[in-house]
Structure 1
Amino acid sequence: MNKGLIIDIFAGGGGASTGIEMAMGRPIDLAVNHDPDAILMHKTNHPETMHITEDIFKVDMLKYTKGRHVSLMWASPDCTSHSKAKGGQPKIKGLRILPWAVYKHARKILPDVILMENVEEIQKWGPLDNEGHPIKERKGEDYKKFISAMKGLGYEFDSRELIAADYGAPTTRNRWYAVFRRDGKNIIWPEPTHNKLGVNGLKKWEPISKCIDWNDLGSSIFTREKPLKEKTLNRIARGIEKFIINDDNPYFLPDDIASSFLIQYHGETKKEYVRGQSLNEPIKTIDTSNRYGLVTAFITKFYKSGTGQAVNEPIHTITTSPGHFGLISAFLIKYYGNGIGQRVSGPIGTIVTKDRFGLVTVVIKGEQYQLIDIWFRMLKPEELKLGQGFPENYIIDHDYTGKRYPISKRVARIGNSVVPVMAKVLTQANMSESCRKEHVS
């Protein structure tokens, strides 16, 4: 009971709490969220924590801290009305003011250290016009007011944009992190352990391929009961060209003659633009709706014999909705109308007087292959969970009462979560003495 309290005041899926517990070696003390479903998932994985289901602006933290000293408070306010991912949609004023809840509680309980996480656009936080759009001339105005108010409470402040992949997570999620402290000690930033190329004595970024369930490759795009939309088929086609044909190091499945990549369900700004990534890389930012589809292309040597190779890069940012990556294999392309292609195992379509069919062959690393089938499926919540850096045993499909969560809820929790390793390294850097004491005790 002599230990300072540890509090997570925007405790959603539990990413921050998980990382803090990894660093401190003990459960966090208090977790706050207005959403009962979020609290249920958090309680399932953090049963020793006191959970508070209340509005973040209305909750009385003095009631729960009971005058005890607070060592660390983590705060990740909802970022959707600051994020560029909303495009030109009107912003929601009620969500944009959430950082002020951090100030309200800091003023009351004065934690030694406050760690914050948000999208990098938080630094442009300013007033909105009557249509709900940011006023360009006043961008950053509210952000500066918030930082000034926190400093007025006696806090030293610093912030940086950090990429999770640089610290060992298989995602390139980039976020703004802030450290406030009023205990007289220096603000410390954790040193990266990885980089994209694995140079300068650091490890190479972790590939998303390690998080994929390779026992499930989906199904052929040619035999689906519900055909894929043309945009998806076009993404697959462009992805095959970029990530298999023109890639110097395409990802091959181990012990299989197939190559895979991810396609991403975000709008392309140009017709020829490829939304996707190699599996040799970390996944990009995951949000609340699954934006990734796994594509696997089955190939066979056009001449000689061969067995194929393995794929090995991390996946890109994960979003909160499932199904943004797809699998591709060899097929016949139709050269007329809106046709995308057909299976080589079935009868050929109507033959006209001009050459309208072509057997797809590709050259990979100097050798010629035939594409024989293309398989596709969306990424699963469990894969997104691992891509976000959660432990394999972290429970996202049900709560402690036995109630099961729909896929959309699981994806949303992951997309809204903090990458655990980021909470871990920031806590270790700025609570190093407490971390040592906790582990020793």
Structure 2
Amino acid sequence: MIRDQFLLDIAEEMIVDNFAGGGGASCGIELALGRHVDVAINHDPEAVLLHSMNHPQTNHLCESVWDVKPLEVTQGRPVGLAWFSPDCKHFSKAKGGAPVKKEIRGLAWVKIRWALLVRPRVMILENVEEFVTWCPVIKGEDDALRPDPDRKGETFDGFVAMLTTGIAADHPAFLEACEFLELDRAGALAQRLLNGLGYAVQYRELRACDYSAPTIRKRLFMICRCDGKPIVWPEPTHGAPTSAAVLAKQRKPWRTAAECIDWSIPCPSIFERARPLADATQRRIARGLKRYVIEAADPFIVTLSHGEGKPGAAQRWGSGARDIRAPFQTVTANSSYAVVAPTLIQTGYGERPGQAPRAPGLDKPLGTAVAGGVKHALVSTFLAKHYGGNYQGDGAALDAPAHTVTTADHHALVSSHLVKLRGQCTGSAADEPVPTISAQGTHIGEVRAFLVKYYSEGGQDQDCRDPMHTIPTKDRLGLVTVAGEEYQIADIGMRMLEPHELYAAQGFPASYVIAPAMANGKRLPKHAQVRMCGNSVSPPMAAALVRANVPEMASWSAGETRRIGAAA
């Protein structure tokens, strides 16, 4: 990040970030070019606060994009790059058959406005993949507006036509553009739309996990340029661990959810809640446990360490995750290990008819961060190992020091996965990218199941935690085999992921400030932090596109900035 650097603005061309939000696109542009965005526009004061804290050299306009006058903003200076991320909630498939608002579906016309008035050399638009279905809306019997199912893509095609070679005067998209942009259909600006603005336009769906972000977020990107240079689509840098490109070392394996999780945060038991979990949530947890804990074939190992040697210091996860097939690190008197098979499950709101509970693995990217309220939770299973019928007591939580290490292993093994509190996800393992992050709340949770050693006869009725005495162990319910030995679920904990974990999953640098102080002295509230994350562009994705298409706009510090971003 260049937040704390002073850069003399000597670039000829400007960079403008429309719909700037909390700064995902601006962050990516900085990582790619080593220079700040010149102008950032957003109507939300909380978003502008977060953006201005991280991009203090940018000129911030806290107003509607419709109130911004491009000619006054630029004052004759050419625009080399303009980024557009209009509100996508009325295009997203998560919207289902709910009513829509025409004024929100029409926000993309702002791109046409900037093209008409200041003609940016390169424009990049980001939206959900359903943006290509943009079409006129019609009133139903309830007078609510909904997309016309018989005209899918009609407005989108007209949008592209006006940017490129032109459109017929009676095309509904032209009429809608004139309505939104307040153009006289007989005037000179409208005539330019009819003739086409002469941009070369291409669009593709890309996934952030393929470009170094630990989230599976998939978005449609449209690149437009009018300078005669070719549109460049960056080659993916990452891929599935089992893909041919990764095995040939041509690409790196996807970054994973496991590296985003703050393992020091404990998971409260789901059986000690004041209000029981919803049935749909319990079904998702059960499905995730079955797939990523009970039936997990290859859990991985993480190191547990003590905090600074102080009495009562919380245990924290060590820096490296280790494959279960690899040798252990040196075992010392104050170290312990944990087996982890993490997964995400998605819960909340209940499933639609025929919809299975979702539990994507943590060995995949986190699902797309969207504004529609997708909920996730992290699920972890703790395995408490016992020998010879002698039980060690209640065991140690992650936030407590380990018991005394003896020649007999009495320490816990940990198997974990994430739960997503909405949609069709079946959970996710820890070595997968993080599922989509929602802007509507902290909807990704961690689930940890505590396990005790299972014996074929005698002793199996004794659990390491009291709440689970009712589990019918004779039915061998919830057995997990680790290194040839059987363990049994004794308790399950769940917590929602924190904002700093979500921002890490979205690909923001660790140095990004997500809780700036407001005018009243309080920090930006958690719900606002999550909303901004869910609405944000994944910075690595933006960086890849910008670096590929406008490398000539990079400042002298671009290389150093890229190194900073990669290290973060």
TM-score, length-scaled by structure 1: 0.89
Equivalence for 2:493: 375
Conservation of the 8 A alpha-carbon contact between 2:518 and 2:524: no
Matches for 1:129-208 after TM superposition, within 5 Å: 129-131=138-140, 132-151=145-164, 152-197=196-241, 198-200=246-248, 201-208=250-257
Q: Which amino acid aligns with 1:414?
A: C
Code of the residue aligned with 1:150 in structure 2: it is L
The match for 1:298 among 379, 382, 389 is 382
CA contact (8 A) 2:517 2:523 kept: yes
Deviation of residue 438 (structure 1)?
6.4
Of the three residues 55, 69, 75, the one matched with 1:66 is 75
Pairs within 5 Å for 1:10-409 = 10-131=19-140, 132-151=145-164, 152-197=196-241, 198-200=246-248, 201-250=250-299, 253-254=302-303, 255-257=337-339, 259-265=341-347, 267-269=350-352, 273-288=356-371, 289=373, 291-301=375-385, 308=413, 312-320=431-439, 321-330=441-450, 345-346=465-466, 360-364=478-482, 366-399=484-517, 401=519, 402-409=521-528
CA contact (8 A) 1:276 1:325 kept: no
Q: Is the 8 A contact 1:303 1:368 kept in 2?
A: no
Counterpart of 1:318, as a letter, is: I
Between 401-410 and 422-431, the greater mean CA deviation after superposition = 401-410
Contact kept in structure 2, 1:75 and 1:117, CA below 8 Å: yes
Does structure 1 conserve the Cα–Cα contact (< 8 Å) formed by 2:39 and 2:60?
A: yes
CA contact (8 A) 2:267 2:447 kept: yes
1:344-400 per-residue CA deviation (whole Å, 9 max, x = no partner) reads 64388899xx99986642335653112222111001111101000001121121246
CA separation of 1:55/1:272 partners in 2, compared to 1, >3 Å: closer, same or farther? closer
User: What residue number does 1:339 align with?
Assistant: none
Q: 1:253 to 1:371 in 2, by over 3 A?
A: farther
Offset at 1:155? 0.7
Q: Over residues 199-240 of structure 1, what are the superposed CA-to-partner deviations in whole Å (9 max), with x where a residue is unaligned?
A: 342111111110110001321122233332332222211111
Equivalent position amino acid for 2:447 in 1: L
Deviation at 1:41, TM superposition (A): 1.1
Partner of 1:338: none
Aligned pairs, number = 430
* C-alpha RMSD over aligned residues: 2.8
Cα displacement (A) at 1:249: 2.6
Partner of 1:410: 529
1:136/1:164 Cα in 2 relative to 1: closer, same or farther (>3 Å)? same
In the alignment, residue 491 of structure 2 is paired with which amino acid?
D
Q: Using the TM superposition, give the Cα deviation of residue 55 of structure 1 relative to its aligned residue in structure 2, in angstroms.
A: 1.3
Give distance in 1, aligned partners of 2:386 and 2:340. 14
Is the deviation greater in 141-150 or in 216-225? 216-225
Contact 2:437 2:444 in 1 (8 A): no
Q: Is residue 31–residue 558 contact of structure 2 (8 Å, CA) maintained in 1?
A: no
Q: Relative to structure 1, is the Cα distance of residues 180 and 345 closer, same or farther in structure 2, using a 3 angstrom cutoff? A: closer
C-alpha distance in 1 between matches for 2:162 and 2:117 = 13
Preserved CA contact (<8 Å) 2:479 2:489: yes
* In structure 2, C-alpha distance between the alignment counterparts of 1:188 and 1:202, rounded to whole Å: 19
Which residue matches 2:397? none
Partner SS state of residue 448, structure 2: coil
Unmatched 5+ stretches in structure 2: 1-9, 165-195, 304-336, 389-408, 416-429, 453-461, 561-568
The residue type paired with residue 274 of structure 1 is: P
- Cα gap change, 1:89/1:270 in structure 2, threshold over 3 Å: closer, same or farther? closer
| C-alpha contact 1:263 1:292 (8 A) present in aligned 2 | yes
Unaligned runs of 5+ in 1: 333-341
User: Contact (CA 8 Å) 2:380, 2:449: kept in 1 or not?
Assistant: yes
Q: What amino acid does structure 2 have at the position aligned with 1:199?
A: L
Matched AA of 1:163: R
Moved more, 272-281 or 7-16: 272-281
Kindly state the Cα deviation for residue 69 of structure 1 after the two structures are TM-superposed.
0.9
SS in 2 for 1:363: strand
So what's the TM-score if we normalise by structure 2? 0.70
Contact 2:52/2:60, CA 8 A, preserved across alignment = yes
Q: 1:2 to 1:368 in 2, by over 3 A?
A: closer
What is the CA distance between 1:2 and its match in structure 2? 4.6
Matched residue SS, 1:327? strand
Alpha-carbon distance, 1:314 to partner = 2.5
| Matched-pair contact (CA < 8 Å) for 2:465–2:491 | no
Measure the CA separation in 2 of the matches of 1:272 and 1:113.
Answer: 42
- Contact 1:218–1:375 at 8 Å: present in 2 too? yes
